[in-house]
Amino acid sequence: GGDEGNSFPGYYETYGKTPLSHKYSCTSNVYRGFADIGEMWQKIGEAAGRADVMSHARELLSAAPKLLSALQQSLQRTVFETGNPRAPRGVPTGADPADPPVGALGDFRGIPELMYSAVLSRTQTDDHPAV
């Protein structure tokens, strides 16, 4: 999200001296991948009688809720008041502090990706000015 792909050239062109931004959508997509692929591997492992595949599925399915919990805790620490009664709180798209805080109005991909991965709570979705 947040067109973080643009960060990579700056990072590599400065040989790692430019920090990469921490975007919530990256974490949300990893969470969704672990959850969905873990379920898939579980079904395949059961059908094929493969203990190794089922073990890998358990690892992914064990990591997914921990990742979602960490993401939600970080989101809760970075939600900001907008001053707009129609959208009282803004959900930031990145964990790095911004001044002023930036939500969907400054990021054309981050919030849609968070919504698509289904990690935002109903309140986080309803509160957001872009919804």
pLDDT digit string, tens, across residues 90-129? 777 777 766 666 555 555 667 778 888 888 888 877 766 5
What is this structure's pTM? 0.75
The reported pLDDT for the residue numbered 89 is 79
The reported pLDDT for the residue numbered 67 is 95
pLDDT digit string, tens, across residues 21-38? 777 888 899 999 999 999
Q: What is the DSSP letter of 81?
A: E
Distance (Å, whole) CA 113 – CA 31: 12
The reported pLDDT for the residue numbered 83 is 82
Q: What is the DSSP letter of 55?
A: H
